[in-house]
Amino acid sequence: MSAAMALHNLELLISGNSSLRGSLTFEYYHFKATTLDEQALTYQYLEWRAQNVHENRLEKCVLEELNQIILPRAFLTGSRLTAVDLLLASDLRQSLEALGSLIRWYNAVAVRSEGKLTQIPIHRMPLYS
């Protein structure tokens, strides 16, 4: 699949997501993946989402895997928020409370989502695992 097709598919997923539809965030922050690395990682996470997200819910083992992926990064594709972060964050909201790295990432996305996503209070995070 070409990068242009992957971007088109991402735009369709976002427009079909009721919690993100009509958000000025996408117009204001320009969430397109701009570097080749961001584009490749965006495509990778779209494929990952297609295989692992079912009815906007993720199984615990999948959340643990994503928790490890996001551990060394601020956002999925690196240090910059992209549309794929917003899309996956909207899928994850119900299942995040037990996974600290994902909560940090989710809250960073939620802050920039113009109220479309609500933050998870930090006091719910376990201090030690």
CATH value at residue 29: 1.20.1050.10
| Tens-place pLDDT, residues 24-72 | 455 444 567 778 888 788 778 778 777 777 655 567 777 788 888 888 9
pLDDT of residue 11: 61
Asked whether residue 112 is assigned to any structural domain, the reply reads yes
Give the range of the structural domain holding residue 7, as residue numbers without chain letter: 3-124
pTM for this model (two decimals): 0.48
Q: What number of H helices and E strands is found in the chain?
A: 6, 0
Q: Does residue 129 lie in a domain region?
A: no
Domain-embedded: residue 39:
yes
pLDDT at 92 over 70: yes
Radius of gyration of the chain (CA): 14
* Mean pLDDT across 96-102: 68
pLDDT per residue as tens digits for the range 71-85: 898 888 888 888 888
Express each pLDDT in 4-20 by its tens digit.
Answer: 565 566 666 655 555 55
At residue 120, what are phi and psi to the nearest 5 degrees?
-100, 125
Half-sphere exposure of residue 24, counting CA atoms within 13 Å on the CB side? 3
pLDDT of residue 122: 67
Q: For residue 119, is pLDDT > 80?
A: yes
Number of domains in the chain: 1
**Is there a domain that residue 71 lies in?**
yes
Question: Quick check: 109 pLDDT over 50?
Answer: yes
